Amino acid sequence: MSLELFDLAGKTALITGSSQGIGLALARGLCGAGAAVVLNGRDADKLSDAAASLRADGAKVDILAFDVTDHAAVRAAIDGFEAGTGPIDILVNNAGMQHRAPLEDFPPDAFEDLLQTNIASVFHVGQAVARHMIARGAGKIVNIASVQTLLTRPGIGPYAATKGAVANLTKGMATDWARHGLQCNALAPGYFETPLNRALVEDAAFSDWLAKRTPAGRWGRVEELVGACIFLSSAASSFVNGTTVYVDGGITAAL
């Protein structure tokens, strides 16, 4: 049956930055498709709470706490999990941060933090996991990009730069690793109600502007990212490589 193409039973997925928001929603969605999940973050209490909420629904969940910006820590954690627990079949590089400021006043340390968290982490975790996937001849990597991969607005130029880099690094991963049996793609959310966007969600003027700017006329719900993530994580996308899938209510399609 065609639905079997989307079945993730027997697969293990690592989702970075998955104690809340989009990462946790994607973890829950992959569990619903049959996968076991490995939650990642730096806050042990948040990770434990997130894991408990998934286990309450019958999910198989592990926790792997490491700093995605620390190359040595990433390698140690990934290699240790692969050796002691089992293979990581799916990687969702979701860890990210935002900082808003006029470009002429943007703090250099905030710019560096964005580079490390939003793009260097994709390299660190992607490389560590891919080395094992290459040896097995199979694997799925889903990098979380953004509507700001294509668009930007005042105050978020550096963030947009990192998300543009995520899309191009995804192309590089596909170019190098497709021949080894890996599918590497990016998932680009539009404007979704998340803790990262709480200030914007609560800004009535911004929400009104967004509703008028987006053909769908509203904020996205994190659950609406799950279908695309399952597709990119499953056999259904076996010949999809190096692409960016926008889930944005049509905002990149309209002026």
What pLDDT digit, counting tens, does each position of 36-62 carry?
Answer: 999 999 999 999 999 999 999 999 999
Full residue range of the structural domain in which residue 39 is found: 2-253
User: How confident is the model over 124-138, as pLDDT tens digits?
Assistant: 999 999 999 999 999
Measure the CA–CA gap between 33 and 46, rounded to whole angstroms: 23
Specify whether the CB–CB gap between 159 and 196 falls below 8 A. no
Band (pLDDT 50/70/90 cuts) for residue 2 is: confident
Position of tokens 């998932």? 187
User: How confident is the model over 85-127, as pLDDT tens digits?
Assistant: 999 999 999 999 999 999 999 999 999 999 999 999 999 999 9
| Prediction pTM value | 0.97
* Two tokens, residue 63: 């926790």
226-251 CB burial, b ≥16 within 10 A, e <16: bebbbbbbbebbeeebbbbbbbbbeb
Active site residues: 159
Q: What is the CATH number of the domain that holds 175?
A: 3.40.50.720
Specify whether the CB–CB gap between 185 and 240 falls below 8 A. yes
> How many structural domains compose the chain?
1
What pLDDT, on a 0 to 100 scale, did the predictor assign at position 1?
60
